[in-house]
Amino acid sequence: MNIGSEISEGLRISWEALRGNLMRSVLTTVGIVIGIVTVTLMATALEYLNTAFRDAISFLGTDVLYVDRNEWFIDNNNKFDRMQRREKITMAQVRAVEEGLSGVSGVAPSVMQGVEGLRYGDRSTGGVLMIGTNEQFIITGGASLASGRFMTKAEAAANRDLCIIGADIADKLFEKEEPLGKRITVADQRLEVIGIFEKRGSVLGGMSLDNQIVIPIQKMNRGFKWDPSCVIQIKVGDTARIPAVRDELRGLMRKIRRLPPGREDDFAINQSEALVSQFGKVSAIIAAAGFFITGLSLFVGGIGIMNIMFVSVAERTQEIGVRKAIGARNRTVLLQFLIEAAAICLLGGIIAIGITRGLVEVARVYLPKVAMSWSVVVLALTVAVGTGLISGFLPAWRAARMRPVDALRKD
């Protein structure tokens, strides 16, 4: 008897058995259903978190390096204190990096500061994020313009009274008026609007990328944030060259900041990958905890399946005897009961996917981007069948090992 017809025969028998004990089969699947619903919900939630996070940090750019005084991840207070004592990254150092680094798409210094109340006529905004930078920011910052233009190199160097504003600021201050060419007031400065950014949405749970205003860096350093530490943004332009550029940059910074050999770096080169890997750690912990709980509920479900399969084998001892008497091999009997257990679990898996689908639809009301992917469906069905095979094995093995004469004798 070949394996194909054994499986089709097994499916047929388990279908008959399932139908014959419909109520019992459905009740048995409850445990599995709960387990699989947990699995699919977990997987869907994790997938959602991952994509949401990827979306959220995409504004950082995957090939942009951020030279900063601080590292993005500081795991203890000691380290934080040490970083606070580090020497600032000055404009002179920024210029040295601009001159020393070759073969990259763009280098832009940036200084950020929250400011209150941009004004135009009788309109004003709440708090906005002000970014002081130069003409290269349009390359490194990942934003594009909806209208107008960005500052030129000459304008940046000449420290002109101009600004480029985010979409929300434009909406708030100008409503129906054309913003380009108008002058807005910040503190005691009057700045001409020369460009408006494309709408970008918000990231990391609320920080709006459209509520930003960009000005020449020296204007920032003189008018809003005295003697700041700059962050140097470097767009590499080619992901493959990131490690090489990183090394070159590190050597250059050590030279610029005159660090003797053996002294540790007093600056950090950050990258969105660091965020990703940090988030990876967090999501791995969530996944581990989630799948432990899931594993428990599947375990309980599996025990239920095992129990019912033992009952099924006991009930059908006579049948097993007959099958063996007319030529079923041990393997055939084993397979028959394994398939039956897997089929019950598959049924449970399908019910569970239906339930999860419903729950995801409900969740969509609050989180419109949530979706159940095919990989989750495949995962759920695989886990369901796997649970069936594992928990059905012992009962099936018992059935397969029965001596035909003993099986037949039992009434």
Partner 1 sequence: MSLIRLDSICRRYEMGGETVHALRGVSISIERGEYVAIMGPSGSGKSTLMNIIGCLDTPSSGSYELNGNTVADMDDNDLADIRNREIGFVFQTFNLLSRSTALRNVELPLIYAGVDIDERREIALAALADVGLADRVEHRPNEMSGGQRQRVAVARALVNKPSLLLADEPTGNLDSKTGEEILALFKALHAKGNTLIVVTHEEEVARHARRIIRIRDGLVASDEVVT
3 state SS of 215: strand
Does 326 bind partner 1 (CB under 8 A)? Our answer is: yes
Strand 212-216 versus strand 127-133 pairing type:
parallel
DSSP string for residues in 70-114: S-S---SHHHHHHHHTSPP--HHHHHHHHHH--S-SEEEEEEEEE
Does 214 bind partner 1 (CB under 8 A)? Our answer is: no
Nearer to partner 1, 278 or 318 (CB): 318
Shortest approach of partner 1 to residue 4 CB, angstroms?
10
The correct pick among 332, 336, 356, 387 for binding partner 1 (CB under 8 A) is: 332
- Cα(186)–Cα(193) distance, integer angstroms: 12
Does 311 bind partner 1 (CB under 8 A)? Our answer is: no
The correct pick among 160, 200, 219, 323 for binding partner 1 (CB under 8 A) is: 323
Task: Please provide residue 4's backbone torsions phi and psi, each rounded to the nearest 5 degrees.
Answer: -60, -50
Cα angle for residues 341, 345, 349 (degrees, 5° grid): 165
The correct pick among 144, 277, 278, 330 for binding partner 1 (CB under 8 A) is: 330
Does 276 bind partner 1 (CB under 8 A)? Our answer is: no
Does 16 bind partner 1 (CB under 8 A)? Our answer is: yes
Shortest approach of partner 1 to residue 402 CB, angstroms?
10
Nearer to partner 1, 329 or 364 (CB): 329
- Cα(327)–Cα(92) distance, integer angstroms: 90
Nearer to partner 1, 8 or 239 (CB): 8
Region binding partner 1 by CB under 8 A among candidate stretches 185-193, 204-212, 233-241, 318-326? 318-326
DSSP string for residues in 327-347: T--HHHHHHHHHHHHHHHHHH
User: Do 354 and 29 contact (CB within 8 A), yes or no?
Assistant: no
Shortest approach of partner 1 to residue 335 CB, angstroms?
12
* Interacting residues with partner 1 between 388 and 407 (CB under 8 A): 403-405
Does 7 bind partner 1 (CB under 8 A)? Our answer is: no
Helices (H) and strands (E) in the chain — how many of each? 14, 14
3 state SS of 185: strand
* Interacting residues with partner 1 between 20 and 39 (CB under 8 A): 20
Q: Dihedral of the CA atoms 273, 277, 282, 286 (nearest 10)?
A: 110
**What Rg do the C-alpha atoms of the chain give, in angstroms?**
33
**And the tokens for 41?**
């919900």
Shortest approach of partner 1 to residue 405 CB, angstroms?
4
The correct pick among 46, 56, 322, 389 for binding partner 1 (CB under 8 A) is: 322
Give the contacts of 316 (CB within 8 A, at least 6 positions apart). Answer: 399
Shortest approach of partner 1 to residue 407 CB, angstroms?
9
Does 17 bind partner 1 (CB under 8 A)? Our answer is: yes
What is the per-residue binding string for partner 1 in 347-386, x denoting contact by CB under 8 A? Answer: ----------------------------------------
Contact footprint for partner 1 (CB under 8 A): 1-2, 5, 9, 16-17, 20, 318-319, 321-332, 403-405, 408
